[in-house]
Structure formats: structure tokens, C-alpha cells
């Protein structure tokens, strides 16, 4: 079915019942189960990680590396052998309604004899998927002998628990609720500016992005939606007041799409903040989920493109995305990734914009901001490293002829590896780190850090510097306004 639908539009897709359920989980950031992340391990299903606070973690009877070989439903249900099963089928057996019981037969991680199993009984519960939720950090940026505090809100997706909202739950999960709470916490911490990090955020709920924009503006239109019949619906923030009216920036990259582009575009059009990073993906279409035969649990759903959205300026984000006020380099190639290279994608167009308030005009400040930014970059080790890496990647991409001679190919690979090593060691030397003898040593010397401090993120650190530049440049104007 998807082979047919994508002939007309790349974003119209069939969702099987299982895909539909996973989509709902991703949007609500919750599921009902035992709270264990699983992966296939040859014919077995292996536990990779236990989600903190979930039934599996609370019980203390399971650990990463344990292999699940059987699943039973209820206190007395027969244990079904799941060795050799698809991972999705095993997951279906383990998930279930909150309060119900599931029994697992496992081979402990430290057990080499797969016949030596033990049984674990767990009561299913609601699991909160916190990893995809909005998070805050405070980044310290040094300047002039002072430490400046910049608030960072990392937003991986625009999520909302639609079922919880429809059921009237007072504590249903949503992007706007989470971000509002985080902004209030950052205000209490007296940060000098806030950066919304939308890198790799592929979008999500349209109502949520509309509500999120409302946290930073005082009423007004947020996005225009044009249906296939030509009708234009103006979505607005109806709430008076703002949650935060201080210095604001939005960081994006090529993988920031859809709802991310609506947010970045609105902040830019209102003059509410700077957009920093890379040209965004360019997905400017709206999809709706339609239950097939009125029964999604049996037949699944169709995700159907039914409208296009436009910035309040009237410009579409389709195909072209959002162009940042200040561009930063990225290893993501805009020539091969983005809506503009997707077959069958709709073209860019423009409609009449809508009147809206302007909170500021950053255009007069952009030349000086870019000049200061470039001045820092000329001496920044990470920036020099990134540009050198991009230059090498472009050179490799432009090679149209590849030798089929094995000895020649080995020489070419050795030269390439030598250049990559030289680029890496130049960065290390500039940062007073020990050089590598071989690129393979990098993984040994530097184990993966799951939660990288923002001070070690080049893009965030430079965004923080840009915000301090802007604050410094705006001070005289703000003092004049106060005096007047």
C-alpha cells in the first residue's frame, strides 16, 4: 500500500495496527508494560536496559543481558516459548494493560547454559518514556572574566498524550506543559537567555507547536493552514501574556522538520528571537490519521496528507525550510537530505501573510553578530576541525572514478585515513589533548558519553556566545527606552 501512496505524496502512509500503536506511544511518551528495552540477540530477545521507575527496575529481578525465552500471561498462564520469534511479536506478548500480570522465563546474563532458566513475575504499569521528553540544562559561557548562565531546553519531538487529554486527565503529558515548567525553573535560576534546541526534531503535534509558540508571544497568529480546497485556517495563541519574554534563540539543523519549522519560523517572523544553525528540512505539509474501516486495532490507519502550513509571513516551509539568521556548519549534507531531494514532494509556494505584532528587528544587528561569530570561529579548534572534515568529505564525494586495483585502493584508503588522523590530531593539539597514533584509538581513549554537557557541544556554546553578543548590543537601546 505504501508503494502506491508514496507515488502521490511521500508523507501519506499506511500504518499497520502495530505501527499505529507505536506511533501513539511516541506521541504520548508512555506505554503500558514492564519498562525494559529489548533487542534481538540471534534467536533470543535480550534485555538492553531497564527504564528507571518501571516494574522491571523496581522488582530488581531482571538486569541488562538477561535473555527472554518464554512469556506467560497472568499468574497461571502457560509459558509460551518465544525463542526464534520476531522482536515485535515478543514485545506484543510482554506489553499489556496496567495492573495485569506477565511471567517471563529468562536465561540470566551470566548463565552460559541456556537450559538453566528462572521465572520472574511482574505487574504491568504505565511507563513514562522520559528520554524523548523536553529537558533543561544550564550552560556556563565564560566572557570577560565572568561566568554567564544560559538556559538550554532540549526538545526532541512535539508530543502530546491525546488519549489522556480526551479522557480529561489533569496530568496528561504534553510538550507545552513540560516546556512551561522548565522555563519557569530556568527563570528561577536567573539565566540570561534561553536557547530552544530543536536539532534532529522531526516534528509532531500541530496543536502543541501552536501552544508552545504562545509561551513566548502575547496573543497572535502562529501558523496558517491551507486545505486542499483552498480554505485557509489561521491558528492563534489565544492566551494573554507570556511565560518568558527575555532573550531567546532557536537552534536548528537539516533534520529539524515540520512542527520544528513552524516554531522556528514564527519566532523569526515575530522578531522574538534568533534562529541559529542550518537550513531546516523543508516539510511543510499536514497529515491526519484515519482509522481504516473504523477499527485501527484490526486494520490499522492511513496517515493522509490533507493540507499545507505557512508561516504568518505567508511563506511556505515546504521544500525550502527555514533559513537561519546565523548559519553554523554541520556534517549533514543538504544536497542529499531534505524535502527538496524527496521524489514527489510538493513545491514551495506563498500565500498572503497575516498582520502580526513585531517584538523586534534583529536585521540591523546581524552583520555585527556574524562578524563577531566569524572572528571567534577563526580560532576555534572545533570549528576548524569541522570545516576541515567537511572539505575532506566534499573531496571524496566529488571523486567520480574509483580504482578497481586492490593495491591502489588500499593506498587511497591509507591516505584518506592519514588525512583524517591529521585533522583529528590538529584539533587535539589546539585543545592541549594527547594526539592519537591511530583513529582506532579514539574509541578506546574516549568512551561514549551519553549525557554530554552543553559546554562540550560546539553548536550550543557558540549559540550562547552569539546570545551574549546580542544582549550586549541591545543594552544601549533598552536603556534609551527606559530613559524615555
- Give per-residue pLDDT as tens, 73-118: 999 999 999 999 999 999 999 999 999 999 999 999 988 888 899 9
The pLDDT of residue 479 is above 60: no
- pLDDT for the residue 162: 84
Nearest-CA neighbor of 158 among 268, 283, 333, 320? Answer: 283
8 pLDDT band (50/70/90 cuts)?
confident
Mean pLDDT for the stretch of residues 7-31? 89
483 pLDDT band (50/70/90 cuts)?
very low
- pLDDT for the residue 24: 87
451 pLDDT band (50/70/90 cuts)?
low
Active-site entry in 66, 154, 237, 269: 269
Separation of alpha carbons 310 and 224, rounded Å: 5
Active-site entry in 174, 258, 260, 313: 258
Q: Give the HSE-up count for residue 222: Cα atoms under 13 Å, Cβ half-sphere.
A: 25
CATH architecture of 30-127: Roll (2.30)
Contact 191, 248 (CB under 8 A): no
**Residue 149 burial (10 A CB sphere; 0-12, 13-18, 19+):** middle
- pLDDT for the residue 443: 53
Mean pLDDT for the stretch of residues 306-324? 96
Measuring CA to CA, how many Å separate 82 from each of 118, 125, 336, 360? 15, 22, 41, 61
Highest mean pLDDT: which range of 212-226, 370-384, 436-450: 212-226
End-to-end alpha carbon distance in the chain:
65
Q: Compare 445 and 454 and report the one with higher pLDDT.
A: 454
Active-site entry in 137, 180, 283, 308: 283
- pLDDT for the residue 117: 94
Which CATH homologous superfamily contains domain 130-360?
2-enoyl-CoA Hydratase; Chain A, domain 1 (3.90.226.10)
Distance of CA 227 to the CA centre of its chain: 27
The C-alpha cell of 442 is what?
579514539
Instruction: Give the E-state strand segments of 215-355 in sequence order.
Output: 220-227, 232-237, 248-252, 274-277, 285-291, 301-310, 326-327
State whether residue 69 is helix, strand or coil: strand
The residues spanned by each domain of the chain are: 30-127, 130-360
- pLDDT for the residue 299: 92
- pLDDT for the residue 442: 60
333 pLDDT band (50/70/90 cuts)?
confident
Q: Compare 335 and 84 and report the one with higher pLDDT.
A: 84
Separation of alpha carbons 431 and 93, rounded Å: 51
Q: Scanning the structure block, which residue is given the C-alpha cell 537550513?
A: 279
The pLDDT of residue 480 is above 80: no
- Cβ partners under 8 Å of residue 454, min gap 6: 137, 138, 139, 152, 460, 461, 464
Residue 160: what are its φ and ψ, rounded to 5°?
-165, 135
The C-alpha cell of 308 is what?
499545507
The C-alpha cell of 268 is what?
523569526
State whether residue 105 is helix, strand or coil: strand
Active site residue 417: no
- pLDDT for the residue 393: 83
The overall average pLDDT reported for the chain is 90
Q: Give the CA-trace dihedral at 340, 316, 173, 50, to 10 degrees.
A: 10
> What is the rounded radius of gyration, in angstroms, for the C-alpha atoms of the chain?
26
Q: Give the CA-trace dihedral at 70, 76, 77, 78, to 10 degrees.
A: 60
Separation of alpha carbons 124 and 67, rounded Å: 19
Separation of alpha carbons 463 and 250, rounded Å: 9
pLDDT tens readout for residues 361-412: 999 999 999 999 999 988 888 888 888 888 888 888 888 888 888 899 899 8
Nearest-CA neighbor of 460 among 73, 195, 84, 77? Answer: 195
- Cβ partners under 8 Å of residue 179, min gap 6: 134, 153, 155, 212, 215
Contact 350, 316 (CB under 8 A): yes
Active site residue 269: yes
Q: Do domains 30-127 and 130-360 have the same CATH topology?
A: no
Mean pLDDT for the stretch of residues 298-311? 93
> Comparing 133-142, 394-403, 414-423, which segment has the lowest mean pLDDT?
394-403
Bridging pattern class, strands 193-197 and 135-143: unpaired
Amino acid at each position: 500500500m505504501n508503494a502506491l501512496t508514496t507515488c502521490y505524496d511521500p508523507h501519506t502512509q499506511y500504518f499497520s495496527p502495530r505501527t499505529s500503536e507505536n506511533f501513539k506511544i511516541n506521541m504520548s511518551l508512555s506505554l503500558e508494560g514492564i519498562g525494559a528495552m529489548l533487542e534481538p540477540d540471534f534467536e533470543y530477545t535480550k534485555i538492553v536496559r531497564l527504564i528507571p521507575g518501571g516494574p522491571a527496575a523496581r522488582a530488581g529481578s531482571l538486569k541488562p543481558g538477561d535473555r527472554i525465552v518464554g512469556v506467560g500471561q497472568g499468574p497461571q498462564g502457560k509459558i509460551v516459548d518465544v525463542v526464534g520469534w520476531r522482536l515485535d511479536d515478543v514485545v506484543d506478548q510482554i506489553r499489556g494493560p496496567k495492573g495485569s500480570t506477565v511471567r517471563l522465563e529468562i536465561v540470566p546474563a551470566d548463565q552460559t547454559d541456556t537450559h538453566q532458566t528462572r521465572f520472574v513475575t511482574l505487574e504491568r504499569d504505565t511507563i513514562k518514556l522520559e528520554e524523548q521528553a523536553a529537558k533543561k540544562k544550564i550552560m556556563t559561557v565564560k566572557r570577560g572574566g565572568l561566568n554567564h548562565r544560559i538556559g538550554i531546553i532540549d526538545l526532541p519531538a512535539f508530543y502530546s498524550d491525546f488519549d489522556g487529554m480526551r479522557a480529561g486527565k489533569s496530568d496528561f503529558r504534553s510538550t507545552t506543559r513540560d516546556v512551561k515548567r522548565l522555563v519557569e525553573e530556568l527563570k528561577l535560576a536567573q539565566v540570561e537567555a534561553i536557547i530552544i534546541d530543536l536539532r534532529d526534531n522531526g516534528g509532531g503535534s500541530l496543536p502543541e507547536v501552536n501552544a508552545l509558540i504562545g509561551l513566548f508571544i502575547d496573543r497572535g497568529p502562529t501558523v496558517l493552514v491551507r486545505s486542499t480546497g483552498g480554505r485557509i485556517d489561521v491558528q492563534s495563541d489565544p492566551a494573554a501574556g507570556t511565560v518568558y519574554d527575555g532573550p531567546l534563540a532557536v537552534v536548528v539543523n537539516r533534520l529539524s522538520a515540520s512542527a520544528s519549522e513552524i516554531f522556528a519560523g514564527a519566532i523569526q517572523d515575530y522578531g522574538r528571537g534568533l534562529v541559529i544553525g542550518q537550513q531546516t528540512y523543508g516539510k511543510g505539509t499536514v497529515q491526519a490519521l484515519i482509522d481504516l474501516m473504523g477499527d485501527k486495532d484490526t486494520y490499522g490507519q492511513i496517515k493522509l496528507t490533507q493540507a499545507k502550513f505557512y508561516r504568518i509571513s505567508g511563506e511556505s516551509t515546504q521544500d525550502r525550510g527555514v533559513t537561519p539568521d546565523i548559519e553554523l556548519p554541520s556534517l549533514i549534507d543538504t544536497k542529499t537530505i531534505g524535502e527538496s531531494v524527496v521524489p514527489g514532494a510538493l513545491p514551495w509556494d506563498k500565500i498572503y501573510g497575516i498582520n502580526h505584532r513585531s517584538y523586534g528587528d534583529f536585521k540591523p544587528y546581524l552583520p555585527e553578530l556574524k562578524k563577531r561569530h566569524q572572528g571567534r570561529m577563526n580560532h576555534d579548534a572545533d570549528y576548524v576541525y569541522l570545516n576541515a572534515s567537511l572539505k575532506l568529505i566534499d573531496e571524496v564525494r566529488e571523486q567520480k572514478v574509483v580504482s578497481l586495483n586492490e593495491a591502489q585502493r588500499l593506498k587511497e584508503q591509507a591516505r584518506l585515513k592519514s588525512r583524517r588522523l591529521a585533522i583529528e590530531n590538529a584539533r587535539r593539539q589546539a585543545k592541549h589533548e594527547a594526539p592519537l597514533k591511530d583513529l582506532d584509538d579514539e574509541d578506546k581513549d574516549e568512551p561514549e558519553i551519553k549525557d554530554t554537557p552543553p559546554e562540550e557541544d560546539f553548536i550550543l556554546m557558540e549559540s550562547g556566545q552569539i546570545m551574549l553578543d546580542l544582549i550586549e548590543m541591545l543594552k544601549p537601546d533598552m536603556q534609551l527606552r527606559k530613559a524615555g
